Amino acid sequence: MSSNLDPAIAARLKRSPDGLVPAIAQQYDTGEVLMLGWMDDEALHRTLTTGRCTYWSRSRNEYWVKGDTSGHVQHVKSVALDCDADTVLVKVDQVGAACHTGARTCFDADVLPVSQ
């Protein structure tokens, strides 16, 4: 699939065999980790140019813009690649729940015990 992503950014990305990179959404002002989604080059391009997070749905095999159906929008504040360019960190201003379950974050329901 062709993409309008800046070729310099596309050249840096290290994608999975299916062409995706994990994208972590984090609340920009509190640091709260909200969710993990997947982006291909076009989803990243759309995220960078629209100011709204666009992800690739592996189950539906289509793009989805966070909040288009739920109203729980992610307004993009910044986007960064990690040191290996194999993960994207999107700092957002989350409106409403980030998780499809209706929870604020996808990471608060099943905290695992840690031995000290």
DSSP 80: E
Q: So what's the pLDDT on residue 112?
A: 84
Q: How far, in Å, CA of 74 to CA of 44, rounded?
A: 14
Q: So what's the pLDDT on residue 27?
A: 98
The reply, when asked if residue 53 is annotated as ligand binding, is no
Percentage with pLDDT > 90 across the chain: 84
Q: How far, in Å, CA of 42 to CA of 2, rounded?
A: 8
pLDDT in tens, 70-85: 999 999 999 999 999 9
DSSP 2: -
The reply, when asked if residue 82 is annotated as ligand binding, is yes
Checking if the pLDDT of 54 tops 70, the result is yes
The reply, when asked if residue 18 is annotated as ligand binding, is no
Checking if the pLDDT of 45 tops 60, the result is yes
The reply, when asked if residue 83 is annotated as ligand binding, is yes
Pairing of strands 74-81, 62-65: unpaired
pLDDT in tens, 6-33: 999 999 999 999 999 999 999 999 999 9
Give the type of residue at 93. Answer: D
Q: How far, in Å, CA of 54 to CA of 100, rounded?
A: 15
Task: Please compute, for residue 53, the number of CA atoms within 13 A of its CA located in the half-sphere on the CB side.
Answer: 35
Q: What is the mean pLDDT of the chain?
A: 94
